[in-house]
Structure 1
């Protein structure tokens, strides 16, 4: 008589990288995976007269997403993009981002739209040779 086949060990769903929340069910894991596609940009050091500000980003699930005001930076091509949160929201003037946020976007290969109104993510940029 042979022993019954062993069932493979059940793997849990991946936790949120910011707060560690682990979904209990597949539906919650799917929702959390969608939530974790969004970058939240927050200020780590405010700008002063002599130093530029510093920003960082993190992924947040529905359990740890920042409260309070937020500002969506939407790609002109696909509408995807990060959210500004906290003190950065108050620094947006006439849809112009603070310099240290714009620098962060550029470092992540985002480009200002040609007409100067908005941003284009790396996935939606058309190589100049194809224009």
Structure 2
């Protein structure tokens, strides 16, 4: 079956020429998905929708490659996912059809260019940082909190009367910023011993957080930036699974690839720890007030209590005692 995807950057732009081209290529009107989104991080719900509908043997039809991918790397990633699922890609204006050997070869050349682009970005970044250090300048993002605010956040957390989400709201910063500065080893709360092999969700103190972002591959160049990044990567983001609408995909994001709004905190009522919902999950939670069914199922499978209060596995066990 043929499915079409079209995109314009703003509501003012007319998508008619893309839609007409998809129709001429044989795509039925009900199978054409249209997004109004611009920018590398803009939400594209119709793209997520068509990817969820596609099955092995289907073909995704677009007019141009730049209508599909947010970047070259994103485009190559999508192409690889489609191939793994047995789905073909047809690009009308550029004559690419991955059902043919020539089309697969042309798409493969793009992967080489994408890797070359990534290496150039990394090399240019390192050269720029080296030049800045030679002039006495230090890299990394400026801290969002002052020393006094960090100390206040630690005192509030140690007192055990405020959740991480509440502390973040008081200081008007994202919850990930608070995670990056808290020293949970200093907490007066009694630590919980986890069975071998279990890893508490979003626990900065127990789980060794990687330095390099596993999602986009960004590696900090300074110790200060690495500290910020570890705080970001300590938070689990739950995304809808395009291949299985009833399940979730868990990702970690650094500052560079962190999803744009909407985002929704799933915070334990006691400690404030928990994952953050992204994309359609966040939209559904904000609009309906209830957790999406796949998220609720995942939380229960992970040891959370959902009703009557939202409790992480640690505090759910304490209540059960």
TM-score range, shorter chain: 0.7 to 0.9
User: Where does the alignment leave 5 or more consecutive residues of structure 1 unmatched?
Assistant: 1-12
User: Where does the alignment leave 5 or more consecutive residues of structure 2 unmatched?
Assistant: 1-209
- Indicate the residue corresponding to 1:122 in structure 2: 313
How does 1:39-118 map onto structure 2 within 5 Å? 39-45=236-242, 53-92=246-285, 94-113=288-307, 116-117=308-309
Q: Is the 8 A contact 1:44 1:54 kept in 2?
A: yes
Q: CA offsets, 1:35-63, max 9 Å, x none?
A: 1111111111388xxxx622111111111
Q: What is the CA–CA distance in structure 1 between the aligned matches of 2:292 and 2:222, rounded to whole Å?
A: 40
Q: What is the CA–CA distance in structure 1 between the aligned matches of 2:237 and 2:228, rounded to whole Å?
A: 17
- What TM-score comes out, normalization by structure 1 length? 0.74
Q: Is the 8 A contact 1:72 1:81 kept in 2?
A: yes
Larger Rg: 2
Structure 1 counterpart SS, 2:228: helix
Q: What is the CA–CA distance in structure 1 between the aligned matches of 2:319 and 2:264, rounded to whole Å?
A: 28
Q: What is the CA–CA distance in structure 1 between the aligned matches of 2:262 and 2:240, rounded to whole Å?
A: 14
1:17 equivalent to 2:214? Answer: yes
Q: How many residue pairs end up in the alignment?
A: 110
Q: What is the CA–CA distance in structure 1 between the aligned matches of 2:302 and 2:320, rounded to whole Å?
A: 19
After TM superposition, the structure 1 stretch with the greater mean CA deviation from structure 2, 82-91 or 31-40, is: 82-91
Q: Is the 8 A contact 1:88 1:98 kept in 2?
A: yes
Structure 1 residue 27: Cα displacement: 0.6
Q: Is the 8 A contact 2:220 2:226 kept in 1?
A: yes
Q: Is the 8 A contact 1:46 1:53 kept in 2?
A: no
Q: What is the CA–CA distance in structure 1 between the aligned matches of 2:266 and 2:252, rounded to whole Å?
A: 15
Q: What is the CA–CA distance in structure 1 between the aligned matches of 2:211 and 2:320, rounded to whole Å?
A: 39
Aligned-residue CA RMSD (Å) = 2.1
Q: Which has the higher contact order (CA 8 A, sep 6+)?
A: 1
Select the structure that is richer in helix: 2
Q: What is the CA–CA distance in structure 2 between the aligned matches of 1:28 and 1:124, rounded to whole Å?
A: 32
Structure 1 residue 83: Cα displacement: 0.8
- What TM-score comes out, normalization by structure 2 length? 0.32
After TM superposition, the structure 1 stretch with the greater mean CA deviation from structure 2, 22-31 or 91-100, is: 91-100
2:225 to 21, 28, 31: 28
Select the structure that is richer in strand: 1
